[in-house]
Amino acid sequence: MRIDKVWKASLGMGVIDERMKFETYNDFYLRKNIIRGLFKELDRNGQDIYRFYVYANRLLSDTKADRIWEFLSAVDDEEFIESVDNLRRFYNKGGDHIEH
């Protein structure tokens, strides 16, 4: 089975908790701590599926998706602090714009 079919099936089964879904980078940034807390409760399979969710978001540049993933997967305090700083650099208080 192709990965895109697995991905679509997982979304249809409600695998992604509604509280973890976001549309734009700013949407993620404003709810980052809630999303990260829920992410840490997922098993390895759930985290892999969520990674697909992050990188499948076409409103995010690859760089922003990378920053989100670094934040979610940080394992120690130093990585976490650096990832929060990186997230903040891309946060646009004026609102999101569509990236092409």
Confidence at residue 1, expressed as pLDDT on a 0 to 100 scale: 40
Taken in order 50, 54, 56, 59, the sign of the CA dihedral is positive
* Grouped pLDDT means (10 residues each) for the chain, 100 residues: 50 76 93 95 94 93 93 88 86 56
Do 73 and 40 meet the contact criterion of CB atoms below 8 Å apart? no
Alpha carbons within 13 angstroms on the beta-carbon side of residue 27 total 12
- With both helix axes pointing from N to C terminus, report the angle between 44-56 and 3-12 in degrees, rounded to the nearest 10: 100
C-alpha triplet 71, 76, 78: angle, nearest 5°: 80
Confidence at residue 19, expressed as pLDDT on a 0 to 100 scale: 95
Domain boundaries, the chain: 3-90
Q: What are phi and psi of 41, to 5 degrees?
A: -80, -15
pTM for this entry = 0.75
